[in-house]
Structure 1
Amino acid sequence: MDNVVHNSSDRLDRAKAALAAKPDGVIEQIAAKAEVSPADVLAVLPDGAAGIVPADRWDAIWQDLSTWGDVLMIVHTDDIVLEVEGALPMGSEGHGWFNIHGDSPIGGHIRKDRCQSIVFVDRGFHGRRSCSVWFMNAEGRAMFKIFVRRDAERALIAEQLARFEALRQAEI
């Protein structure tokens, strides 16, 4: 991205144009093409596609997500898209980190204090509905995302979809 300061309207206009060119594409790729943050692209999704809640809802949202069974956690950086399937451990805070450990391939340490908002995303992705919960940092990037999983026929798992919709409804 160049060093020119862009106003908010200019950023959102570029995000809208890039999204219009690939409405069901990868948000991070759309953002990179428009030289905006993923949060800018989420902000211009059609009504109802991205519901933002404050970061202080972390504990309640995490607690609910940890009861969904195996989910798909994605960490998407410029260098890697890491996908891990498993149950979210409950987590606990200590030494400045949110620590997640348990009988799951999902584990580690999260800088919970860097979370600025949580976004419920319900949109088309490569021709299919996709539902996820994004934990966003101050730079407008996803720290990580939790996705409703798909079954063998690539349909969203009905029970998790219902849990996603209920949590989104309760939080937004």
Structure 2
Amino acid sequence: MHARPEAQTLIRQDLAEKPDGILETVAEKHGVPLRAVLECLADGAASPAADENFEGVWSDLTKWGEITFVVHTRDGVFETKGAIPEGTTGRGYFNVHGDSPISGHIKADRCHVIYFVDRPFFGKRSCSVQFINHDGEAMFKVFVGRNEDRSLKDDQLARFEALRARLTTAT
């Protein structure tokens, strides 16, 4: 999913000009998948973990409390706040149910890589766990929650940083 060198240069220029912009907008502008843009972020801003960690990462996320769950496609951005419920594998899906607005059925085998993303977004630090499919696009993202003053929740930030340190190949 790497962008051609000339595209990487242009993507990096766009990111330098607007470091807190929407990554999907940059990807669409350059005709590349989101993963190509994640790979062009500054060192440490997007740290990859292997897809085999899917269930372990999900399990850890169930202990974070209220987060923001985002599905971003070309057709819309859908955000839900709630706790991540436990999931189980069955009938070809990772099935998510519980007392949360977050529920459904995930084709976990379509997950190719998991990125721990730590970068500014509209002027504030933003940390998310992004599940990227084989096409290089986001399946979904889980964002560290925010307090009323818009600061990141300390306990979730600590969990994010610990999980990233344990699972990623480069931080």
1:19 and 1:32 mapped to 2: Cα distance? 13
Query: Cα deviations across residues 36-95 of structure 1 (Å, max 9, x unaligned)?
Result: 211111101111111001100111111101111111100000111000011111101111
Matched, 1:76 2:76: no
Structure 1, unmatched stretches of 5+, are 1-5
1:28 and 1:44 mapped to 2: Cα distance? 13
1:71 and 1:58 mapped to 2: Cα distance? 17
Residue in 1 that maps onto 2:122: 126
Residue in 2 that maps onto 1:93: 89
Residue in 2 that maps onto 1:17: 13
Residue in 2 that maps onto 1:3: none
The two structures have a TM-score, normalised by structure 2, of: 0.93
Report the alpha carbon displacement of residue 8 of structure 1 after superposing the two structures with TM. Answer: 2.4
Which fold has the larger relative contact order, with Cα–Cα distance below 8 Å and residues 6 or more apart in sequence? 2
The two structures have a TM-score, normalised by structure 1, of: 0.93
Q: SS of the residue aligned with 1:51?
A: strand
Backbone CA RMSD of aligned residues: 1.3
2:48 and 2:158 mapped to 1: Cα distance? 19
Task: Write the mapping of 1:147-162 to structure 2, written as runs, cut at 5 A.
Answer: 147-162=143-158
Among all aligned residue pairs of Structure 1 and Structure 2, give the percentage whose two residues are the same amino acid: 49
